[in-house]
Amino acid sequence: MEQSRRITDSFPRRRRRRGPGRPPGRLKDRKDKDKDKDQDKAQLKVRQCPRGPSQAPPDPALMEMLRRFDLSWEYGPCSGITRLQRWERAQELGLSPPGPIRDALLEHRDNPDVTYRWVWDGLGW
C-alpha cells in the first residue's frame, strides 16, 4: 500500500496549473476522476503534481494507438497493470508486440494517461 494516503484523497482535486497546448474537447472532470481513481489503487508510481509546461501532451493519434493496443486480445488482459508491463509481458511470451508502442510509452512515462490502461468514460481502473 502507498504511504501517502490521506483522508483528503477522496475529495475532488482541483488542478493548480494548466499546461499549455492542452488538446481541445477533453473534459476537466475526467482528468480529476482519473487522478482520484489512480490514487485509490495501490499501484502508485504517478507523481501527484500536474504536468509541468516543459512536457508536450501526447497527441490524440498516439492515445488512439495505445487504446488499440489495450483492446487487442492477443496480448492478454489489460486491466490492473501498466501498459509498459503488458508490453514487456507480451514480449517475453513471444507475441511480438509492436515496437513503436514501447517507444511512445517510454517517451511519455510521466503522463498517467499514457502509462495506465485507457479509461472509458472515467470508469474502470
120, β-bridge pairs: 123
Distance CA 48, CA 8 (A): 13
Specify the residue, 75 or 108, whose C-beta has the smaller distance to other proteins.
75
Q: What angle separates helix 99-107 from helix 83-92, to the nearest 10 degrees?
A: 150
Nearer to other proteins, 37 or 67 (CB): 37
Closest approach of other proteins to the CB of residue 49, in Å: 23
In angstroms, give the least distance from the CB of 94 to other proteins: 8
Site for other proteins (CB under 8 A): which residue of 11, 14, 42, 54?
A: 42
| Window 57-116: residues binding other proteins (CB under 8 A) | 73-74, 76-77, 79-81, 85, 88-89, 92-93, 95
* Distance in angstroms (rounded) separating the CA atoms of residues 35 and 29: 10
Which positions touch other proteins (CB under 8 A)? Answer: 41-43, 73-74, 76-77, 79-81, 85, 88-89, 92-93, 95, 125
